[in-house]
């Protein structure tokens, strides 16, 4: 019993030492920015709707129907359309003045009335990816609606045969900032937990602090566990503050589930990722090497976890491999708790999976860390 109390004391004091070291490190400023300004910016930067898109129209028909189509594009979705000549179309797109150029051919109205199905050409500047993707669909639907209303003679829509009752569950306003904010929070939790623990180990090796620790009556697992709880606690506190002040207050995101349950799962995830950070810290010999390893590890964890693209669209082999990554389960239970109000009875499989993955990572990191310590003592 006294041995356990001694080990707990060692872990506590070593963890406090890690916190003091981080307090004097400028890396703490990056932590503050990642869970405040970067989180807010990432949530607001990705547009979920078209806003003031630059559009030009080449009206070669100059008929009531073509004028009707030109007048259908108005703020705030589009900027007021600029009517240009055919010779100015390429020059305007090359100069980046227009994102969309609509070319209405001659005799367009007469061909429509004759039932000849004429084509309207839409030129899109695809370098503006988000606007190009959204705007092409907007313009197509607007043009088809105006032609249909012109042929019908009024704006009365025919009675549909089937009445589709649309209900947007969990995000009634289809607000993209809710999704982007949570995904950026998840990415920052993973990134910083790995960086902080790996950088702390490399920094001690470069400064010679690890040799001082080895002459003390402490065991390798105590040193490692101290780094896990200290850096995990920093990221967990930052996550809780970001949830309240950035997601809920600044972004006005409603949270359906229990914040405490989410933070409990986040603590399990941090156990796995901090262990991963220590493992990478034993593999890398310097901070530049650690940076290269971070790129190789973080990109698959973030892109293939289901936060950016649905896992259902991935190949079966990739999905099976990513079941061994903690971020896959983290994204799953975070969305279930925060969006759908899931309780422990629903998300316990993800909690158990992360706990098992974290135990494996911790054991592998401890084995590697012990080997590193043995080589340093030899």
The one-character DSSP state at 286 is S
Q: Which fold has domain 55-152?
A: abc type-2 transporter like fold (3.40.1710)
Question: pLDDT tens, 306-327?
Answer: 877 778 778 889 889 999 999 9
Residue 84 or residue 377, greater confidence: 84
What pLDDT, on a 0 to 100 scale, did the predictor assign at position 214? 67
**Cα–chain center distance at 320:** 21
- Classified as helix, coil or strand, 322 is helix
d(CA 374, CA 160): 77
- Measured between alpha carbons, how far apart are the two ends of the chain, in Å? 32
DSSP string of 38-53, one letter each residue: HHHHHHHHS-SS--SB
Q: pLDDT higher for 274 or 158?
A: 274
3-state secondary structure of 102: strand
Please give the average per-residue pLDDT across 261-281, as a whole number.
93
| CA nearest to 31, candidates 180, 196, 187 | 196
Instruction: Give the least confident one: 35-39, 78-82, 134-138, 240-244.
Output: 134-138
Strand partners, 82: 56
Give the residue, 238 or 224, on which the prediction is more confident: 238
Give the mean pLDDT of the chain: 84
Q: Where in the chain is the domain with CATH 3.40.1710.10?
A: 55-152
**Residue 166 pLDDT > 80, yes or no?**
no
Say whether pLDDT at 137 is over 70.
Answer: yes
pLDDT at residue 50 above 80?
no
Mean pLDDT of 142-162: 71
Please state the pTM of the whole predicted model: 0.76
- Confidence grade of residue 182 (pLDDT, cut at 50, 70, 90): confident
- Residue 147 pLDDT: 87
Closest CA to 101 of 123, 82, 86: 123
Residue-wise DSSP of 349-370: HHHHHHHHHHHHHHHHHHHHHH
For 1-20, write each residue's pLDDT tens digit: 667 778 788 788 888 888 88
Rg (CA), the chain: 28
pLDDT at 171: 65
């Amino acid at each position: 019993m006294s041995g356990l109390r001694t080990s707990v004391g060692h872990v506590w004091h070593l963890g406090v030492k890690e916190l003091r070291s981080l307090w004097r490190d400028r890396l703490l400023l990056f932590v503050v920015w990642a869970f405040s300004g970067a989180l807010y910016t990432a949530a607001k930067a990705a547009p979920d709707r078209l806003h003031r898109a630059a559009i030009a129209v080449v009206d070669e028909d100059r008929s009531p129907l073509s004028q009707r189509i030109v007048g259908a594009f108005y703020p705030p979705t589009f900027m007021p359309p600029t009517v240009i000549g055919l010779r100015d179309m390429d020059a305007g797109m090359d100069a980046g003045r227009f994102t969309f150029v609509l070319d209405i051919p001659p005799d367009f109205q007469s061909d429509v009335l004759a039932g000849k199905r004429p084509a309207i050409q839409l030129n899109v500047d695809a370098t503006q990816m988000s606007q190009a993707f959204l705007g092409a669909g907007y313009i197509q639907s607007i043009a088809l609606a105006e032609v249909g209303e012109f042929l019908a003679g009024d704006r009365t829509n025919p009675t549909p045969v089937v009445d589709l009752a649309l209900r947007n569950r969990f995000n009634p306003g289809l607000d993209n900032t809710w999704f982007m904010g949570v995904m950026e929070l998840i990415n920052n939790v993973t990134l910083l937990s790995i960086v902080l623990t790996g950088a702390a180990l490399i920094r001690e090796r470069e400064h010679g602090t690890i040799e001082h620790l080895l002459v003390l009556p402490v065991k390798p697992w105590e040193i490692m566990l101290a780094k896990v709880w200290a850096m995990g606690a920093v990221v967990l506190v930052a996550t809780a503050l970001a949830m309240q002040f950035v997601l809920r207050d600044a972004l006005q995101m409603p949270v359906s589930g229990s914040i405490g349950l989410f933070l409990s799962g986040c603590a399990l995830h941090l156990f796995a990722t901090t262990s991963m950070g220590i493992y990478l810290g034993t593999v890398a010999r310097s901070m530049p090497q650690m940076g290269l390893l971070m790129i190789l590890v973080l990109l698959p964890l973030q892109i293939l976890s289901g936060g950016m693209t649905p896992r259902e669209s991935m190949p079966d082999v990739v999905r099976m491999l990513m079941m061994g990554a903690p971020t896959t389960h983290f994204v799953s239970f975070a969305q279930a708790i925060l969006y759908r109000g899931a309780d422990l009875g629903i998300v316990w499989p993800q909690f158990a999976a992360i706990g098992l993955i974290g135990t494996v990572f911790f054991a592998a990191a401890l084995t590697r860390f012990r080997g590193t310590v043995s080589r340093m003592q030899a």
